Structure 1
């Protein structure tokens, strides 16, 4: 028997999928979108039925050229509706990349990005909006949790 309450249309909530990537010194990779003030962690919204860790990896690759397997979550951030829909943002652990790793940002007209750079963790508030910097700081301070798909660790 199907419960009609389970089949009712759920509330709309955007799912943000971000990656926190560091270099060997612990600096954090940020991208600089042309559509907002300040820099942000690489990432974006998941598509319908797209697993969030794959959405974050897709955006990370599209924005920086990095191919990183994302298997752990560092932070979960809920933002109530304001001028946008309510949002649930997951920050995935992108680990540390070797020194000299090439970051490739597509042309601004394609990506909407002005660039990308590694920023010292203590300087994040100087480069990011307060809520973005707080999210990144919390992610840096936390131990990771595994990503699960239907109760199993994501491959």
Structure 2
């Protein structure tokens, strides 16, 4: 049964869908957006009713050319509203890749580039909160993503 009160004014919260991908040396794949200082994990916001693992995989492919099946979450990070809406960020386990990176032109992607960064250098190229999110994801144990109680395919 649908309660119209629950749908009358849904909460405003952006769902960030990010992918943590490493190369065989253990370096972390990061993108360099032109709209903020520092590197971030590849990913972006999910569209309404878009499953988060599909959003993360879509953004990863569009931003870096890396195609991955994402089914497990490494970290969940809530960020309160500041200059952006409040957001819930899910960091998915993108595993290890040897794929060549393909970053679209800046005018289409909003990215200055992408590269693998050694774990010890994350704090030098990322904002403190971004680096802390990655550090937590690197130490965490993956948990499966469920969609209506079933494991995401």
Paired position in structure 1 for 2:75: 75
Deviation sequence 1:5-41 (CA, Å, 0-9, x none): 4333221100000000000111000000111100000
Stretches of structure 2 that go unaligned for 5 or more consecutive residues are: none
Cα distance in 1 for residues equivalent to 2:117 and 2:7: 45
Task: Give the paired residue count.
Answer: 153
Name the SS for the 1:116 alignment partner: strand
Matching residue within 134, 142, 147 for 2:145: 147
Stretches of structure 1 that go unaligned for 5 or more consecutive residues are: none
Paired position in structure 1 for 2:85: 85
Cα distance in 2 for residues equivalent to 1:127 and 1:8: 42
Extract structure 1 runs of 4+ deviating beyond 3 A: 1-8
Paired position in structure 2 for 1:58: 58
CA 120–2 in structure 1, closer or farther in 2 if over 3 Å, else same? closer
Cα distance in 2 for residues equivalent to 1:35 and 1:6: 35
Deviation sequence 1:63-107 (CA, Å, 0-9, x none): 001110000000000011112111000000000113xx2000000
| Normalised TM-score (structure 1) | 0.95
Task: Give 1:22-37 correspondences, 5 Å limit.
Answer: 22-37=22-37
Deviation sequence 1:91-138 (CA, Å, 0-9, x none): 00000113xx20000001100111110001111001100000000000
What is the Cα-based RMSD across aligned positions, in Å? 1.1
Q: In the TM superposition, what is the alpha-carbon distance from 1:3 to its structure 2 partner?
A: 3.7
Paired position in structure 2 for 1:117: 115
